[in-house]
Amino acid sequence: MRDYHQPHASASSSSSSLVLVLEFIKPQIEDEDEGRRTRTKSVKRAAFTLVELLVVMAVIAILAGLLLPAVSQAKESGRATACLSNLRQIGLALQMYVQDNQNRMPIMRDRPAGMTNAPGLPSPDLVLSNELNTAQIWRCPSDRKSVFPRTGSSYGWNSLLNGQDAEHLRVFMIDFDPHQIPVMFDKEAFHQARGEKKGVNYLYADGHLKNLLAIEGSK
């Protein structure tokens, strides 16, 4: 006689096997899901860190932009002070020259670039060589345009004062306030980093030549 219960037994056995398989792979699926969640969190965490890094870099760039000009100005102020010291020593040398030459201003002219001397007239560094014992006095610390090596001096001489009586300085036959008569000055705007209208240092004649120490930077 045919056993009609056999298919039921087979179906029951298949169900049991499916359950066992599911129970076997379920931990693996859960582990895989957990791994995906962890990787997603890591990616999100890394992305957040990158944003933070960009923000920090932007803040540093802004601070650098604010601080660098101030640092540059501070350094240039120091060089400008050294430049004024050079002009002060040149002023003293002019005083000594005048005292030894019947109170007359020297006759000299700036040396053109690339020449050993000015045409017809000696340059200031040669005329005052006895009064100044070092050539470096004629070099402005901020002279980065090679004016000094090409001309022998970073400073220009007001040749309109050549040979004048130091007690009565005039320009174009006009009497000027001594504060308005520059005697020596930077040949270029070496100190532009200090700010507007402060690129050039001037040595002015204040009254008599013996008071030739009124120094300003005004351009």
CB-count burial class (<10 Å; 0-12, 13-18, 19+) for 131: middle
Query: Any idea which of 4-13, 15-24, 145-154, 162-171 has the lowest mean pLDDT?
Result: 4-13
Mean pLDDT, the chain, rounded, equals: 75
72's CB contacts (< 8 A; 6+ apart) are: 193
Asked whether residue 21 is assigned to any structural domain, the reply reads no
Question: For residue 209, what pLDDT is reported?
Answer: 41
Mean pLDDT computed over 93-100: 91
Asked whether residue 76 is assigned to any structural domain, the reply reads no
Rounded Cα distance between 44 and 68, Å, is 36
Question: For residue 11, what pLDDT is reported?
Answer: 47
Mean pLDDT computed over 91-96: 90
pLDDT grade for 6, boundaries at 50, 70 and 90: very low
Asked whether residue 133 is assigned to any structural domain, the reply reads yes
For residue 25, list its beta bridge partners.
none
Domain span including residue 150: 82-217
Say whether pLDDT at 123 is over 50.
yes
pLDDT grade for 210, boundaries at 50, 70 and 90: very low
Q: What is the pTM of this model?
A: 0.63
Question: For residue 9, what pLDDT is reported?
Answer: 47
The sign of the torsion formed by the CA atoms of 24, 25, 31, 34 equals: negative
Asked whether residue 61 is assigned to any structural domain, the reply reads no
Asked whether residue 32 is assigned to any structural domain, the reply reads no
Stronger pLDDT, 28 or 57, i.e. the higher one: 57
Structure tokens at 53: 């890094």
pLDDT grade for 141, boundaries at 50, 70 and 90: very high
Asked whether residue 123 is assigned to any structural domain, the reply reads yes
Question: For residue 5, what pLDDT is reported?
Answer: 47
Say whether pLDDT at 113 is over 70.
yes
Say whether pLDDT at 110 is over 50.
yes
Mean pLDDT computed over 161-185: 82
For residue 184, list its beta bridge partners.
157, 203
Asked whether residue 19 is assigned to any structural domain, the reply reads no
127's CB contacts (< 8 A; 6+ apart) are: 97, 106, 107, 108
Q: How many domains does the chain have?
A: 1
Asked whether residue 63 is assigned to any structural domain, the reply reads no
For residue 170, list its beta bridge partners.
175
> What phi and psi values does residue 177 have, to the nearest 5 degrees?
-60, 135
